[in-house]
Amino acid sequence: MAPPTAPGRLVVTGASGNVGTGVLRALADRLPDTHVVGVCRRPPRLVPPYDRVEWHVVDLGGPDAADALEPAVRGADAVVHLAWAIQPVRAEQELRRTNVGGTRAVLRAATAAGVDRIVYASSLGVYAPGATEPVDERWPDSGQRTSAYSRHKVEVERLLDQYERENPGVAVARIRPTLVVQRAAATEVRSLFLGPLVTRPVLGLLRDRRLPVVPVPPGLALQFVHADDVGDAVVRILQRRASGAYNIAADALEADALAGVLGARTVPVPRSAVRAVVAGLYTARAVPVSPGWFDVALNTPVMDTTRARTDLDWTPSRSSVEGARELLDGLAEGAVGASPALGGPGSAG
């Protein structure tokens, strides 16, 4: 049986961000005849991949978000919901208004428009800790209670569960990517997680493999995925009208592989000690990353991507090593993207 036709009109929320930029590139390459509507707070300059997009300015954290979305979603066949607020972590209710309340607004607008496909960008952060082997999409998605990010992602997945029950004719898919990387996202990643304490010269030393040792908590296993590979997965889901959850990640980068990327010897440091340092720096407002983010990074299981590879014929084009090197190079160079969300023009304020 042939897959359904590509959506004629597609709405992408958060279209100017890290994941959104990868999705727009994939859409331009693979679905050039689809009319793409981008929703964000600060539209980018009309340069590739943003130049073929009809832009609508909507604050999903606003009380009238569903009404504001109506012109953008009117006549749409599908919605890809990528918008998400990560900072400021200390303002959890503000984040919740955008993340959970904004998702409710998107679902309400999608229902009113009669869309038949919804793709939501969930996260590895929905998975409960405790696995000793890579986990597939059936692993408990109860998240990690210490992380507001994880709690909100779990809450939205429960909203999607309810939406699916109430709208059986809509194909609802949720992708669960790990850390999404690309060179252009370096400034965004630094501002969200590193802050000014980790300077570009330090990042340059890491990039140039000039640090002799790097402290690493035991059992560390990081997975990255390139924004273009996430975009490829989203397009495949849209083309197939696929539903359900999909882990989206490259291979696991363990301590030895990380040492190879950095050209340094890893020194084991107890997790409790590292977490205490992160907590102290966060309390002192020296870094934006919270202890909850540390817990997500260290305790989330490695993800098995068999379902995406089998159902979508998806494979990552870049390994975690390649993704880490691209991001690290961007961090050392202070790379920015063309959109305000990625540190480009209009990003101030």
pLDDT by 10s per residue, the chain, length 349: 345 578 999 999 999 999 999 999 999 999 999 999 999 999 999 999 999 999 999 999 999 999 999 999 999 999 999 999 998 889 999 999 999 999 999 999 999 999 999 999 999 999 999 999 999 999 999 999 999 999 999 999 999 999 999 999 999 999 999 999 999 999 999 888 888 878 888 889 888 888 888 888 888 889 999 999 999 999 999 999 999 999 999 999 888 888 888 888 888 899 999 999 999 999 999 989 899 999 998 899 999 999 999 999 999 999 999 999 999 999 999 999 999 999 988 775 4
Residue 40 lies in a domain: yes
Read off the pTM.
0.94
Tell me the three state secondary structure of residue 103: helix
Amino acid at position 32, single letter: P
Residue-wise DSSP of 204-259:
HHHHTT--SEEEE-TT-EEEEEEHHHHHHHHHHHHHHT--EEEEE---EEEHHHHH
User: Count of domains in the chain?
Assistant: 1
Residue 238 lies in a domain: yes
Q: Note the helical H segments in the chain.
A: 18-30, 65-73, 92-96, 102-113, 148-166, 186-189, 200-207, 227-240, 255-262, 271-283, 291-299, 306-311, 320-333
| CATH of residue 154 | 3.40.50.720
pLDDT at 213: 86
Q: What's the Cα-to-Cα distance from 288 to each of 5, 192, 271, rounded to whole Å? A: 43, 6, 19
In angstroms, the Cα distances linking 192 to 62, 87, 341 are: 22, 7, 11
In a domain, 319, yes or no: no
Closest among 179, 132, 142 to 318, alpha carbons compared: 179
Instruction: Report the first-to-last Cα separation within the chain, whole angstroms.
Output: 50
Domain assignment of residue 92, yes or no: yes
CA separation for the pair 153, 213 (Å, rounded): 35
- Which among 268, 280, 288 has a CA at the least distance from the CA of 220? 268
Q: Is 156 among the domain residues?
A: yes
Query: What is residue 218's predicted lDDT score, i.e. its pLDDT?
Result: 85
The residue segments making up the domain with residue 38 are: 9-182+224-250+303-309
Q: What pLDDT score was predicted for residue 179?
A: 94
Q: What is the DSSP track for 313-327? A: ----SS-HHHHHHHH
In a domain, 295, yes or no: no
Q: Looking at the domain assignment, is residue 67 inside a domain? A: yes
Q: Residue 264: helix, strand or coil by DSSP?
A: coil
Is residue 96, in this structure, part of any structural domain at all? yes
pLDDT of the residue at 348: 58
